[in-house]
Copies of this chain bind each other. A is one copy, B any other.
């Protein structure tokens, strides 16, 4: 079609003459919250090991935040989508491919990067414990898997004109051989007659770079929310697993104990039984399951 604009140009002519304005543009980074689940050490081999939720962090080798720990990530390049950048980062840092990946949120606070204007388009990826190489101890690259703990530590509600403000403080604790990082992230929900608004801020932060405490907190909340009504947790499992292991994963994500019978009923449609069993476990063998490919609901 050849509609002319007010300058008498066709769309083709317009585009040929178009020059990107001299407006300042942001850099956009894709930052990855990569979760996995691993077994904790267990002295008594007859007891089942506990599961731990872990997140991958990289130690920064240059300014800013030199020596602090940051999410893996990098700038999105021209002719690449944010998702492609995320996939690229994931492969570079973990060597894995074709895993669960989900866009989380785009963070754009002013000054979130002290160098320049940088937005972060964040992604969450779930990797099964089995396929994680022992990159954990790979200190050369400065990468490590940190055990995640995320707990509500303070809750308050203040009445304001025409509504209230609810403040929730969560303590994010990340621990590994390299020490422990602690941050407190606050979620503020402002409810008034007209609207409801939620915002996140970092109250304190020891050891994490940028606003990455906020991004990790956001990822954990997304994960906790989705665990209850999707099969998302199954992406953290190896090909074959027992229902008890799956329950442990749910429990470590939700930081809450679940009842066995109810749990099994709930996940029944998400898994398919196999004819394999665990062996030499020091007790009754357990049937192994795999993720069901059939739809549920």
Contacts and interface: CB of A to CB of B under 8 A. Distances in A.
Contacts of A110: 79-81
A105 B108 contact: no
Nearest to A194: B98
A6 to B, nearest CB: 7
A82 interface: yes
A66 B11 contact: yes
Complex copy number for this chain: 2
Contacts of A164: 293
A13 B80 CA distance: 33
Contact of A25 (B26, B81, B103, B197): B26
Nearest to A12: B63
A282 interface: no
Interface residues of A, number: 64
B75 A23 contact: yes
Interface string A1-45: 001011001010011001010011111100000000000000000
Interface stretch (A116-124, A137-145, A254-262): A116-124
A98 B192 contact: yes
Nearest to A68: B3
A192 to B, nearest CB: 7
5 contacts: A11-B64, A11-B65, A28-B108, A28-B119, A101-B195
